[in-house]
Chain A
Amino acid sequence: MLKLQTKLSLFNLLSKLIFTALFLVFMPYIMERINLRQVDEDLIQKREQFISLISDIGIEPFMTTDSSFGSFNIIKEEFISLEMTDMEEDYNFIEETIRDIDNEEIEYRVLNYTFEIDGQKYLLEVGKSLESIERTERNINRVLIPFLLFIIIITFLTDTQYTRYILFPLEKIKKKLKRIPDPSHFDSKPVQTSTSDFRRLDDALCEVMENLNQMFQKEKDITVNISHELMTPISVLRSKLENLMMKDDTGPEISSKIEDSLRTLHRLQSLVSSLLLIARIESNQYLKEDSFKIKDIVDEIIAELAPVAEDASIDLSGNMKSDCHVSKANRSLLFSMFYNIVNNALKNTPAHGKVIISCAREQKRFIVSVSDTGTGLTEEQKQNLFSRFKARDKNSGEGTGIGLAIAKTIADFHNIGIKVESEIEKGTTFSFTFSENS
């Protein structure tokens, strides 16, 4: 696959080369024709001049010494000769002949012309050397070929620059499309262009994205609205059950059943608020204005979960080689994200295992990773890990199985890359890459 610009440039170069080659092949022939014609016209003009000279001053001055007259210019480029002749036929033609002048053979183009004065026939020859023409041709060729090459290179370069300039909006549109994870991130600012095709393309794209965006937004709004609507009945149920629970006359059996119902209700509540949280993050309802150290968050999470880890005989520790300062982020969301991941790691690690949170700087970015020595994930589990509801593990207890989906949403919201590496029975590592612009 070639880029449009490369294709155009290649075509451009090829067509130039072909035309130049054709030109170089046919040029000598054409030049020769043009030159001969020029020479012939010259010869005819000279003849006319000479004839009119004779008619002015008479033929006698040319026929003083001999029965012929000849005149050469010094470099033997041209000559005129006039002689009496007895030929019967009239001549008026041009031919190429070789003349031997001062022991030098020179190729001439010669006009032969006969005329009569006072009953005497004369033959006039007007010649012009072809040497000079050939030399001129050679000279022209010597200049022309480098010149043509030079022109080809120059025009190729300018054409390439110009196509690049003209195709620049297309590049921009391409870039616009490449960067976006979803339509809400599409840059709807029109691309600057004076080419109507690109204008139309860009406008059409913007419109499609706008429509998509609206559809996405609608979906998110629906999620938010449904969640709100669900909260009220959950609230009513919860209050009713809590009131029932506080009645003095409920026996232990009924109390236990009510508590069970409350637990189920809470699962429902958790689920709804998780969906609400995801929808809110996805529709950018959270601010990213906090500056803080990831180390502080990790320390907090370790302090928070230490009792749970201890209870399950898991060694939970942090290995922070750097403070990992972040700015323009939402602290409580990032706290939730790491909390979910660490909590998940604790759940999937058997007794006497280890969970380590570490942070390392790597040039302009830093990586926070959460590793456990747990049961690990199968390839299939790994693939469905961040999809809502699919990751639900049989032994993950009472969670809604949406914690990792929340973590992923929060990571996307902050442009944090997530990578999961896992080996069955060895453990799992979640890596979070914070780049400069996240």
Chain B
Amino acid sequence: MNVLIVEDEKSLAREIAEFLKSEKFLCDIANTGNEASEKIAINLYDFVLLDLGLPDYNGLDLLREAKKINSEASFIIITARGAVEDKVKGLDLGADDYLAKPFALIELLSRINAVARRKFNITSPDIVLGDFTMQVQSRRLICKGKEVELTRKEYDLLSYLVLNSGKVLNRQQLYEHIWGNILDDQYDSNFIDVHIKNLRKKLNLHAPTPWLETVRGVGYRVNTTQEE
């Protein structure tokens, strides 16, 4: 998929591009609003990551223009101004999602994937994790024909790890994804650990979970390749 990264902070644009390339995206960078405007007019993009705080262009104007020229593209707004009005205005103008700086690259990827799934109406296939099967559509976890009772937060935590399987997610990334950014003082590493502990306890009642790994000093990872 083609992604245009519109971001005046060159260094950040490069990092996003590097990450998305490693996830098999084709990336293009525009550091100014004018450059972005030209690129959108010439090329067809599936995704535009748009920083609203451009020095030469009102981000929302650019969004309006770009939507006219390339209505097929999906827009994800990135901004350092986490103000609610910006978010509402952006979404009103047809942006598909909104991310406040600083964000986790993993989170960006999962938003892009979610938008893509919505757009192309992709039904997510069930995912097999050892003896467990995650039915993504119905948000259920089945083990040996029986449903595992999970709280909403526990399911979200597990599914985020599963969607990013193979990658180590740290506590901050997990916390931000599930609890959002609104509670600004709540960086309790303990918090995620407690939830993972409870999750493991519940799962282990049904079957062992070697695929849910703890990476010492870093975080957690779901590893589907090392099965059995």
Residues of A that sit less than 8 Å from B by CB: 228, 231-232, 234-236, 238-240, 242-243, 245-246, 252, 255-256, 259-260, 262-263, 266-267, 269-270, 273-274, 276-277, 280, 285-286, 304, 307-308, 310-311, 332, 335-336, 339-340, 343, 397-400, 402-403, 406
Q: Which of A262, A286, A335, A397 contacts B190 (CB 8 A)?
A: A397
Chain B residues contacting A269 (CB-CB under 8 Å) are 102
Whether B104 pairs with A307 at a CB distance below 8 angstroms is no
Select which of A243, A274, A397, A402 is within 8 A of B188 by beta carbon.
Answer: A397
Inter-subunit contact A252/B216 (CB<8 Å) = yes
- By the criterion of a CB under 8 Å from any partner CB, how many residues of chain B are at the interface? 45
| A100 to B: closest C-beta gap in Å | 111
Shortest Cβ gap from B200 to chain A (Å): 12
Ordered nearest first, which 9 A-B pairs have the shortest CB separation? Answer: A256-B217, A235-B102, A239-B15, A403-B185, A231-B80, A235-B101, A311-B194, A259-B218, A274-B184
- Interface segment, one of B40-48, B68-76, B167-175: B167-175
A307 touches B19 (CB 8 A): no
Whether A243 pairs with B18 at a CB distance below 8 angstroms is: yes
Q: Which listed residue (A243, A260, A270) contacts B19, Cβ 8 A?
A: A243
- Given A242-B104, A243-B19, A263-B172, A235-B80 contact (CB < 8 Å): yes
Assuming the contacts A235-B9, A235-B101, asked whether A406 and B184 have C-beta atoms less than 8 A apart, the reply is yes
B12 and A274 within 8 A (CB): no
Q: When the two chains form the complex, which single residue of B81, B185, B191, B218 contacts A406, counting CB atoms closer than 8 Å? A: B185
B1 interface contact, C-beta 8 A = no
Interface centre among B195, B197, B217 (most CB of A within 10 A): B217
Residues of A within 8 A of B191 (CB): 308
CB of A324 to closest CB in B, whole Å:
21
- 13 sample A-B contacts, Cβ–Cβ < 8 Å, listed by A number: A228-B81, A239-B12, A239-B102, A239-B105, A242-B104, A243-B19, A245-B168, A269-B102, A307-B195, A308-B191, A311-B190, A311-B194, A339-B186
B215 nearest in chain A by CB position: A255
Q: A240: which B residues are within 8 A, CB to CB?
A: 11, 15
Question: Taking A228-B81, A235-B101, A239-B12 as contacts, is the C-beta distance between A256 and B187 under 8 angstroms?
Answer: no
Q: Is the CB of B198 closer than 8 A to any CB of chain A?
A: yes
Residue of A at shortest CB range from B100?
A231
Extra 6 A-B pairs, beta carbons < 8 Å, given A259-B219, A336-B184, A397-B188: A232-B80, A235-B12, A239-B16, A242-B19, A252-B216, A285-B83
- Interface flag for B82 (CB, 8 Å): yes
Residues of A within 8 A of B9 (CB): 232, 235-236
Do A234 and B102 have beta carbons less than 8 Å apart? yes
Chain A residues lying within 8 Å of B122, measured Cβ to Cβ, are: none
**B58 CB–A CB distance under 8 Å:** no
Q: Known: A235-B101, A243-B19. Contact between A270 and B187, CB under 8 A?
A: yes
B81 touching A266, Cβ below 8 Å: no
Q: Is the CB of A343 within 8 A of B186?
A: yes
Does B189 make an interface contact (CB < 8 A)?
yes
Residues on the B chain within 8 Å of A398, using CB = 187-189
- B101: chain A residues at CB < 8 Å are 231-232, 234-235
A298→B228 CA distance, assembly (Å):
44
Complex CA–CA separation, A130 to B16 (angstroms): 120
Which residues on the B side are within 8 Å of A243 (C-beta)?
15, 18-19, 105
For A285, list chain B residues within 8 Å (CB): 83-84
Q: Does B103 sit at the interface, judged by CB under 8 A?
A: yes
Q: B34 — which chain A residues lie within 8 A by C-beta?
A: none
- A308-B187 Cα distance, complex, nearest whole Å: 13
Minimum CB–CB distance from A382 to chain B (whole Å) comes to 19
B188 touches A399 (CB 8 A): yes
B106 within 8 A of A: yes
Give Cα A263–Cα B187 distance, bound, in whole angstroms: 9
Asked if B205 CB lies within 8 Å of chain A CBs, one says no
Residue of B nearest to A269 (CB): B102
Shortest distance from the beta carbon of A234 to any chain B beta carbon, whole Å:
5
B187's partner among A235, A267, A311, A340 (CB-CB below 8 A) is: A267
B135: Cβ under 8 A from any A Cβ: no
With CB as the reference atom, state the residue of chain B lying closest to A332.
B182
Q: Report chain A residues within 8 Å CB of B188.
A: 308, 343, 397-399
Q: How many whole Å from B176's CB to the nearest CB in chain A?
A: 9
CA distance A260 to B170 in the complex (A): 10
Indicate which residue in B102, B170, B185, B218 contacts A231 across the interface (CB closer than 8 Å). Answer: B102
Nearest CB in chain B: distance from A133 CB, A: 92
Q: Provide the bound-state CA to CA distance between A307 and B194, in Å.
A: 7
Q: Note all chain B residues with C-beta closer than 8 A to A260.
A: 217
Which of chain A's residues have a CB closer than 8 A to the CB of B184? 270, 273-274, 277, 336, 402, 406
| Interface mask (B93-127 → A, CB under 8 Å = 1, otherwise 0) | 00000000111111000000000000000000000
Asked if B22 is at the interface of the complex by the 8 Å CB criterion, the answer is: yes
Assess the B18–A270 pair: CB atoms within 8 A. no
For residues 7 through 41 of chain B, which have their beta carbon under 8 Å from a beta carbon of chain A?
9, 11-12, 15-16, 18-19, 22
Tell whether, in the assembled complex, residue B170 and residue A235 are in contact, meaning their CB atoms are under 8 Å apart.
no
Known: A243-B18, A256-B217, A256-B218. A235 touches B195 (CB 8 A): no
